[in-house]
Structure 1
Amino acid sequence: MPDSDAASLTARAAVFGAAAIFGGIHCAAWNALFPSLAEMWMWRMSSVVVAGYPFLTILLKLGADWEPLYFLDHLYSACIATGIVLYPLCRLVLMVLSFTTLRALSSGDFVDVDSLHSAAG
């Protein structure tokens, strides 16, 4: 592998690693309460795609570069083509759900913490 290919792969791995961490943070809300079952599953599936897609593409690229697994090159290309649509869509779902779930906050979520301290003291 020439140096420029290695540098390109390293840069791509860094970008995809940051994207995977971003998705992993959203997976932390796996057991959070959502207003509906559909919203919960939309959040979970979008989080898995956003966290897992970068790893999948890196693994497929590494496999496609290894001669015994050259057939993975077609799978890698299909993964990239699918990801061009799927990954931004899942990011959009996470962003929209972040705001739409605010409609289901309980009344206790609106209590000012400073007013609680001043009432107690």
Structure 2
Amino acid sequence: MSRHHYYLSVADLAHARGDDPRFSYDGSDPVSFGAALQQALRNDALFQSWRAVQPDPDAVDASLGETDPEARVSAQLADLHTEVDLLTSLPMSVVRHRLYLLIGAAWQLRDLRAA
């Protein structure tokens, strides 16, 4: 499986929240966000919790539950935004879904490169 670097930017991490508070990131510092995203990519606990509350959990696309136990996330404050460097073998569809659960649409993909 190929690995990719996703370079993301979060304009206002302190106010970045997913639509559902049960799954949303509830913090403001880059280090804790990086840890939360890394955990969400390394195991399927967040996905399974979200899936369980869907109207028809069995109809949810199982590929969204993929994990990468070796995913690495680092996040740091840069100027007035947070820069996130994510290294994973997961496809963008999975990364996007976990990000939306955690921080909604408050992020922007800046670059994507093969690792």
TM-score, normalisation: structure 2:
0.27
For the pair shown, which has the larger CA radius of gyration, 1 or 2? 1
Q: Which has the higher strand share?
A: 2
Q: Which has the higher helix share?
A: 1
